[in-house]
Amino acid sequence: MKIFIPGGAGLVGLNLIYLLSKSHPEWEILVVDKNKSSINIAKKLFKRVNFICEDLSNSKNSKWLGMIKNFNVCIMLQAEIGNKDPYQFEKNNVLTTKNILEAINKSNINRLIHVSSSVVNSVCDDLYTQTKFRQEELIKKNWGKNLIILRPTLMFGWFDRKHLGWLQKFMNRFPLFPIPGKGKFIRQPLFVKDFCKIIQSCIINQEIIGEFDITGLQRITYIKLMKIIRSTSKNNPIFINLPIPVFSFLLQVWAVIARRPAFTVSQLEALTAGDEFELINWPKIFSVKPTDIDEAIKITYCNSIFSDIDLPF
C-alpha cells in the first residue's frame, strides 16, 4: 500500500503516521507539508517515512507531483485553521485542494479520504468555515472515484500545538487561567488516536464510502474539560471567569502582539456559539473502540516520549 498525505506534519498526520508505522510497517508513506520545523521534527521521529517540505499551493516544479503516480490512497489533511491574514485560508484550504485534485486525477490513486471539519455543519460563518465548505464542494465536483469525507469535531492528542494542547501548556506556565464566561459551553472533543483508527479502517475496508460526521461521544462542559486537563498540568492554576466581551478584547490585543495566535476571536465565537453535533455509531461503522476522555487526556499529557514535543506554529 502506498499512501500520499498532503498536510501530514500536523496533529492528525503525525498521529496517523505513528499508528500506521506500528500496525503496517510495510506500507509506503509520502508526506508533503510546508512547515519546515514540523517536517524536521517528524523526520527524527519517523525515519522510514518520506517527508517533503513543499508548499502545496504552488505545484510548479514540485517533487511530489512525479512521486505519487503509482500511489493507491490520498489522505487529504492540509488546512488553515487560524491566521491573521485572510488570504491564507483561501490559499491553504482552497488553492491547495485544486492542485492536489489535479495531480491525483492523473495518478493511479483510486481512493481519496478527505478530512474536513464539523464546522461545515456549524452556525459559525468565518473564513475557516467558508473555505472548508468550498473545499468539500471542490472535491465532490472534481473527484469521481472512491471518496470518503470525514468531519471530525475538536480533536486533541499528541502533537497538538493549538486547541487543548496550547491550553495545557498555558496552564503549565502561568498561575492564573482565564475562562470565558461561566465556561458551561458544551464540547464534544475527539481523541485523535481514535480518529486515526477510523482513517486506518477507511484505508483497509474499501467498502466504506460516503460522508461521516465524527463527533466525540462524550458531551462535556468547557469548564469541566479544563479541570480534567488541569489535573495533568505541572501547575495548579486558579481559574478566573472573565466576561466574554473582556475575553474577546484580550484576544484582540494578543492577536496584535503574537505573529500567529493559537486562539483567535473567531475561535472564541465558535466556542460560545452553542453548537452540538450529531452522533453516529462510528465505533460500529469503523470497528473502533473509543477511548474514555479521562484516559485519553492522561495518554495525551503524561506520555514520556510525545507529550513534551512542541510543534511550532
Structural domains in the chain (count): 1
Q: Is 149 helix (H, G, I), strand (E, B) or coil?
A: strand
Reported as type and span, the H/E element at residue 6 is strand 2-6
Q: Does 131 reside within a domain?
A: yes
pLDDT on residue 105 = 96
Q: Does 224 reside within a domain?
A: no
DSSP conformational letter for 90:
I
Q: Does 266 reside within a domain?
A: no
Q: Does 164 reside within a domain?
A: no
Q: Does 83 reside within a domain?
A: yes
- Count the helix, strand and coil residues of the chain and give each as a percent rounded to the nearest 5: 40, 15, 40
- How far apart (Å, rounded) are the C-alpha atoms in residues 19 and 37? 22
Q: Does 23 reside within a domain?
A: yes
Range of the domain at 32: 2-158+188-217+276-288
First vs last C-alpha separation in the chain: 31
Q: Does 253 reside within a domain?
A: no
- Comparing CA positions, the residue from 17, 18, 303 lying closest to residue 165 is 303
Tell me the pLDDT of the chain (313 aa) as tens digits: 999 999 999 999 999 999 999 999 999 999 999 999 999 999 999 999 999 999 999 988 899 999 999 999 999 999 888 777 788 899 999 999 999 999 999 999 999 999 999 888 776 778 888 899 999 999 999 998 899 999 998 899 999 987 888 889 889 988 999 998 888 888 889 999 999 999 999 999 989 999 999 999 999 999 999 999 999 888 889 999 988 788 777 777 766 666 666 666 666 566 555 567 789 999 999 999 999 999 999 999 999 888 888 887 6
Q: Are 169 and 234 in contact (CB under 8 A)?
A: no
Q: Does 247 reside within a domain?
A: no
Number of helices and strands (H, E) in the chain?
13, 13
- Return the CATH number at 81: 3.40.50.720
Reported as type and span, the H/E element at residue 247 is helix 244-257
